[in-house]
Amino acid sequence: MRDIAQLPKAHLHVHLESTVRWRTAQEIADANGLTIPDPPGSFDGFRSFADYNSRVRESLCRPEDFRRIALEFCEDEAAQGTRYAEVTFTAASHGDRLGSPEMPLEAVLDGLAEGRAAYGIECRVILDHSRRRSVDRAWRTLKLATRYTSAGVVGIGLAGEESYPLAPFAEVFDTARDEGVRLVHHAGEEGGPESVREALVLGHAERIGHGITVLDDDGLVAELCERAIPLEVCPTSNVALGLAPSLDDHPLHRLRAAGLTVTLNTDIPSIVGTSLVEEYARVRDAFGYDDEALAELARAGIDASFAPDATKERLRRGVDAWLAS
């Protein structure tokens, strides 16, 4: 078996605020007069995770906090063989909380630029918006995306509890599509296939964040295959949040067998104690995947990314070289 850390990978579904090293989180919290409890490792559903995760988010207050976590993200991802990442960040929420609309995003972009220079990893940003929050904030998220496109913001999308519908935000996503902003929504994580359909029809989704429930709808599977809509699958996160009973019983292998485009990601790595290398290793062990299957997952992530064509071609060559080694 080849060294997974040497396999060039694209990481497409990972929340910046859930990548923070725990020592860093504690130091930032201390500096801002706050405390963060240790992560429990597993959660009683999505809501309990979201409540815990908000403690980490609220500890980030100063430009140096956001810059630091972005720089350390680059260092940690580069060590795992990630050569390209699209990291999700809830910029408008932080901006509203801190009374400074642009500061959190600008600081993150500064940190990612510094990380690229130091570690050679290319990163872009997807701005997410909670389904529970206002349409006005979603408009602010889109405004940030269009303002900072040249600095590395590539798209926007909805996240959070799927019991809150996408429909109220349809006009935001119509405008985003018309302005050339890429669209990626969380759907089919805790919600059923109807959530994925809504993301496709009203949200103009180009990828689906998670999508692990789509196998319950044969017509939807056929449509996703025909349109080559990729799924951003995050097995360890799904198990930790109680959305899959175990890694062995996770639907990833069945999704691939159905002909769907499946990319492998971590979602909330620091909170559930994983990394992208570990995610590949766990999938390899759970489903008996050989190196060719791991390379196929890596290629799927590269092809599904919003990276420039030159970056994609360079990474594909790197995967071929890994297999030939």
Residue 232 φ then ψ, to 5°: -100, 95
Catalytic residue among 189, 190, 232, 279: 189
Residue 159 φ then ψ, to 5°: -140, 175
Q: List the one residue out of 245, 252, 200 whose CA is nearest residue 227.
A: 200
CA 64 to chain CA centroid, Å, is 23
**Using CA atoms in the order 70, 73, 79, 82, what is the torsion angle rounded to 10 degrees?**
-90
- For residues 11 and 86, the answer to whether their CB atoms sit within 8 Å is yes
Which two tokens mark 170? 């349809």
- 189 carries an active-site annotation: yes
- For residues 60 and 34, the answer to whether their CB atoms sit within 8 Å is no
- Burial grade of 180 (CB within 10 A; 0-12, 13-18, 19 or more): exposed
Q: Which residues contact 266 (CB under 8 A, 6 or more apart)?
A: 11, 13, 14, 234, 236, 237, 272, 274, 275, 276, 279
Alpha carbon distances (Å) from 142 to 126, 127, 154: 10, 8, 11
Using the structure block, give the residue that is written with the tokens 């020592």.
23
Locate all alpha helices (DSSP H) within 241-289, ordered by sequence: 252-257, 269-272, 276-287
Q: Which residues contact 256 (CB under 8 A, 6 or more apart)?
A: 262
- For residues 152 and 109, the answer to whether their CB atoms sit within 8 Å is yes
* Residue numbers annotated as active site: 189
